[in-house]
Chain A
Amino acid sequence: MEKATTDRICVQVFAKISASISHEIKNTLSIINENAGLLDDFAHMAEEGVGVAVERVHAVTKTIAKQVDRSNIIMKNLNRFAHSADNYVAHGNLEETLALVVALTDRQAAMKNITTTLHCPPDIAFSTYLITFESLVYLTVLALFQASTEGSTLAIEVEDETPKITICFTVQSGAAHPFANYPDDDQKALAEQIAASCRIEENQLFLSFPCAVS
């Protein structure tokens, strides 16, 4: 597969993630904006001699601080993903990388009330085309969300089978064929670049790839 093709797919994934993150940031800013406005309302009420309980003011400032923390985490995740493209082939910690991709799909999971669990040994290091790998996992997770019914669970488990690593995605949902359309052309192209192969067994998808790309 041509590198130009995988680059295009990675750019599309980056655009999709940016759109989702900017939407989330708009939500946190909206909450901060409304709570700042509410503090202003309280100040006007105090000026007019209407007492405002201190607890109400504390509750508002606590909400603002919480949303600032939330925004910070969201932006940190986007920043980490953006830096995945710094080096063509990068070394990484698999657990941290998968946790990042899962975090980037949080909003889509929430939209369908899907719970994602991740179990990965903490010490697996790997070396691959990092942004390609992250894009493949991202598109895989989104495809599984799409095929899952509301309230499903997606379990992601990793097995270290050095010199290869296998990620098992298990869908617990009422969907009859959650992997019917997997992999599509984009997923195939990304998998090919990192020398990954996939195998499907009932409600499980196994994605295997070398610990280090040659």
Chain B
Amino acid sequence: MTTIERNNLKVLIADDEVEFASTIVTRLNLRKFAATMANSGKEALAAIEQDPPDVLLLDLKMPDLDGLEVLASLKENHPGLAVIILTGHGSFEAGRQGMELGAFDYIMKPVDLNLLISKIEDAFQSKGKQSEKTDGKSAV
């Protein structure tokens, strides 16, 4: 809960289950992330336009735009954004489908928070943003 490198690592959770998303936000923020939420596909895209996160946690089943449609849009407009698919499906198929569309990884619900955090950190590092953030901090 005290990992200093997590400071200001921005995580956006896009999930239409408000109580799930808000609890994940609270728990990540207790662990020094800067987490926020969006409760539909369109809301997620609007939030990304306004303030792009470092990592997006994306539910596949959402009203208006579903997760795969959001991914397709991100591929075009924000190709560098690290995305982790959240899926309530019983099989890995939906997660695999998301990875084919450019997602970094997927995690099945119910979520193991420690596993989720490790995936968030891996996703962030894989996009090469870790060094940018460190540089930013040392400049301050």
Contacts and interface: CB of A to CB of B under 8 A. Distances in A.
Interface of A: 22-23, 26-27, 29-35, 37-38, 41, 44-45, 63, 66-67, 110-113, 150
A30 B88 contact: yes
Given A27-B17, A31-B19, A150 B27 contact: no
Nearest to A41: B30
Contacts of B110: 26, 29-30, 32-34
Contacts, number: 60
Interface string B51-63: 0000000000111
B61 A34 contact: no
Given A35-B23, A150-B64, 11 more contacts: A26-B88, A26-B90, A27-B20, A30-B17, A30-B111, A33-B111, A38-B27, A110-B16, A110-B63, A111-B63, A150-B63
Considering the complex of A and B, which 5 residue pairs feature the smallest CB-CB distances, nearest first? A34-B23, A33-B110, A26-B88, A30-B109, A30-B110
B89 interface: yes
B23 A38 contact: yes
Contacts of A41: 27, 30
B22 to A, nearest CB: 9
Contacts of A112: 63
A174 to B, nearest CB: 15
B134 interface: no
In this complex, which of A26, A34, A37, A111 has the most chain B Cβ atoms within 10 angstroms of its Cβ?
Answer: A34
B61 A23 contact: yes
A30 B24 CA distance: 10
Nearest to A24: B88
A26 B113 contact: no
Given A26-B110, A38-B27, A41-B30, A31 B63 contact: no
B8 interface: no
Interface residues of B, number: 21
A177 B1 CA distance: 56
B26 interface: yes
A66 B17 CA distance: 13
Contacts of B23: 31, 34-35, 37-38, 63
Given A34-B20, A37-B27, A27 B63 contact: no
A44 B30 CA distance: 11
B110 to A, nearest CB: 4
Nearest to B90: A22
A111 B20 CA distance: 17
B26 A38 contact: yes
B12 to A, nearest CB: 17
Nearest to A45: B30
Nearest to A42: B30
Contacts of A23: 61, 88-89
Given A26-B88, A38-B27, A150-B64, A31 B113 contact: no
Interface string B99-132: 0000000000111010000000000000000000
Contacts of A44: 1
Nearest to B17: A27
16 contacts: A22-B90, A23-B89, A26-B88, A27-B20, A27-B88, A29-B110, A30-B20, A31-B23, A33-B111, A34-B20, A34-B110, A34-B113, A45-B30, A111-B62, A113-B64, A150-B63
